Amino acid sequence: MKMIKYILTTLSLLLVFGACSDDNKQIYDPNNVKPGQLAGIKASYVLDPAESGNVAETFKWSAMDMGYQAAVSYTLEMDIVGNNFANVQELATGNILTADITVAKLNAAMIKLQQIYGFDDATEQSVEFRVKGTITTISPLFQPIYTNVITSKVTPYSAEIEYPKVWVIGDYCGWDHANSQFLFAFAGGTTYEGWIFFDNKAANGFKVTGAAGWDNGNWGLNSQTPSAEANSITLWNDGGSGNISCYSKNYYKFSFDTSTEILTKLSSMNTLGIIGDGANGWGDNDDIPFVFDTQKQVFVATVVLKDGAIKFRGDHDWNGINLGQKAGAETGILANGGDNISVVAGTYKITLNLNNSAEMTYKIEK
């Protein structure tokens, strides 16, 4: 009899605790959700690189009511007006109701959008902001909710970075450091790289210097005679070093390591062109040539395009330099052998920056 009584008592306790557990269970109901509100901001921002560390705006929003006591993660988002946040740039995220966004952070987001949409440098753009709320503990069943959208105008500044560099000086620039082109240390360290336009004068000779003069690195040939179009040469840092004259094409991409003093030819060509049914066609001689901006060291062309696709190639040849959109990367990033780039009819300025092997980029600006 005592055993039966003990079992009944235990069962009763389990039922009581089970009932309490069911009563406390928190159930998400989308009908009970109330989105927060993003507070007003300035009507326009003109971003100044001299103020890059300053706060451009303190964004504030109210908490989102998920219908029960939930831990909510908030993300401040922005995009160009009229694109339905198709290319969201995330400015801040976390369990926060306010975010101090610096001039540099806002400008970096604008530069990313420029790479996607192709608007001109340092031009005013209409942008929109919103805040996304998510409950990560029940994703993916939970659909994010959003605050109101606020529109403003932002004028970014150019995000060109001043990388460490070495000078490539030669007959092509009149042996004048003021007119020379450069190799850049994009990753820091002692390795420099970039494209040099020799304008058919590479064979007339050039050298590498570490400054705009001859007293801080003066790299040229010792007594060796490199073979024509040599893949690499060990240079000699001395005032008596000889000119490098074993190359004869228009364009060369060189890498130079100041620690090993090895100059490496990464690539070379005589022309770079635009090819595709969005341009003149895919034929062997349909390439529209680029010119080289020697100040910015980028390839530039102003072209009339048609609805279709384009790519970029060197010397009318698919087997060498064959550049297209990098698969899986954001719009504006190139890769050798990359995908066709879709274009719509219009007149465009196309700019390629191929100096940094780790991030070759293109811009198509209407």
Give the Cβ contact number of residue 6 at 10 Å.
Answer: 10
242 with 304, same domain: the answer is: no
* Phi and psi angles of residue 92, each rounded to the nearest 5 degrees, phi first: -160, 150
| 327 and 231 share one domain | no
Percent of the chain scoring above 90 in pLDDT: 73
Question: Does a structural domain hold residue 217?
Answer: yes
The structure tokens listed for 84 are 């339905």
- Locate the DSSP E strands across 271-359: 272-275, 288-289, 291-293, 298-305, 308-314, 322-325, 333-336, 341-343, 346-353
Residues 178 and 257 in one domain: yes
Given a cut of 80, is residue 198 above it in pLDDT?
yes
Strands 291-293 vs 272-275: parallel, antiparallel or unpaired = unpaired
How far apart, in whole angstroms, are the C-alpha atoms of residue 90 and residue 82? 17
Residue 9 lies in a domain: no
pLDDT of residue 307: 98
Q: Which residue has the tokens 């719009």?
A: 331
Pairing of β 213-220 and β 206-211: antiparallel
pLDDT tens, 315-335? 999 999 999 999 988 889 999
- Which pLDDT band, with edges at 50, 70 and 90, does 29 fall under? low
Question: What was the pLDDT predicted at 331?
Answer: 87
Q: Look at residues 269, 296, 328 and tell me which one is the last residue of a structural domain.
A: 269
**CA distance linking residue 333 with residue 364, whole number of Å:** 12
pTM, entire model: 0.64
Domain containing residue 313 = 272-365
Domain count, the chain: 3
Residue 181 near residue 253, CB atoms below 8 Å:
no
225 class by beta-carbon count within 10 Å (0-12 exposed, 13-18 middle, 19+ buried): exposed
The residue with greater pLDDT, 329 or 300, is: 300
On whether residue 5 sits in a domain, the answer given is: no
- Residue 1 is assigned to a structural domain of this protein: no
CATH number at residue 246: 2.60.40.3620
3-class SS at 9?
helix
Residue 15 lies in a domain: no
Please check whether residues 141 and 175 belong to one and the same domain. Answer: no
Instruction: Give residue 340's pLDDT band: very low, low, confident or very high (50, 70, 90).
Output: very high
pLDDT 10s digits, 109-150: 998 898 888 888 889 999 999 999 888 665 555 778 899 999
Instruction: Find the radius of gyration of the CA atoms of the chain.
Output: 30
